[in-house]
Amino acid sequence: MTALLTAFDALVARQTAALAAPGIWFTGVEQVAIAREARAARAGRPGAADLPNAVADASRRIATEAWTIRPDDIAAWADAGLRAEAYVEVLSIVARWTALDTAAFGLALDDPVLPVPLDGLPSRAVVPDAAIDQGWVPTVGTAHPLTALTAIPGGLELQFDVHDTLYLSIDDMGDPLAVRDGATRAQIELAAARTSYLNECFF
């Protein structure tokens, strides 16, 4: 096994453990169900009907057409019981597991196995400094790639676990001559730009 595949395996193990354990707004059972719902949506299959409608709908929209989401959608999900911080946690799960599934496909591996959930209740911890600041959900500081998940404790760490393993470390991000595993920065950014184009994302 190459060092890259070993690093990916370790990433999957860490992310799987996080998914199985109770989160901030969802139990382990619910977190696994969210990941499964998103995976079904990407495959064009119906969901398992084991989540509240708002959670299932948000999971599927984030998985398949995140670019169509608007503040009205987030407000409607909130009216249906999915508060903004919980929506951020759904987003965190779906986005990270989409990345893992895409990487596995491209590395000619099977989709990572969803874990058996652990018992326990979500912490329901709030981040007191999080507030709406140019985005549609609370963030600590201005809505930005580095603050997207800051409404949930630990959100940034889970994001950067994926980011650092699959892309670049924060330190390397400012280096136009960075090379990783033989891929030049231009090649890396072409892959990023083409992915964003396919996802209709302007980032």
List the interface residues with another protein, window 133-172 (CB under 8 A): 134-137, 139, 143-145, 148-149, 159, 162-163, 165-167
Taking a C-beta distance cutoff of 8 angstroms, is the pair 19, 27 a contact? no
Taking a C-beta distance cutoff of 8 angstroms, is the pair 143, 152 a contact? no
Q: Judged by CB under 8 A, how many residues of this single chain contact another protein?
A: 71
Does 123 sit near another protein (CB under 8 A)?
no
User: Reduced to 3 states, what is the DSSP secondary structure of residue 24?
Assistant: coil
* Nearest CA-CA partner of 66 in 45, 95, 87: 95
Residues 6+ apart with CB under 8 A from 157: none
Does 108 sit near another protein (CB under 8 A)?
yes
Among 80, 131, 170, 191, indicate the residue that binds another protein (CB under 8 A).
Answer: 191
Q: Give me the torsion for CA of 124, 139, 144, 19, rounded to 10°.
A: 0
Does 54 sit near another protein (CB under 8 A)?
no
Does 59 sit near another protein (CB under 8 A)?
no
Mask 73-102, x = binds another protein (CB under 8 A)? Answer: ---------------x--xx-xxx-xxx-x
Does 190 sit near another protein (CB under 8 A)?
yes
Does 49 sit near another protein (CB under 8 A)?
no
Taking a C-beta distance cutoff of 8 angstroms, is the pair 152, 1 a contact? no
Residue 21 has φ and ψ, to the nearest 5°, of -80, 155
Among 27, 29, 47, 189, indicate the residue that binds another protein (CB under 8 A).
Answer: 189
Q: Which is nearer to another protein, 13 or 116 (CB)?
A: 13
Does 45 sit near another protein (CB under 8 A)?
no
Separation of alpha carbons 105 and 112, rounded Å: 10
Among 49, 79, 106, 113, indicate the residue that binds another protein (CB under 8 A).
Answer: 106
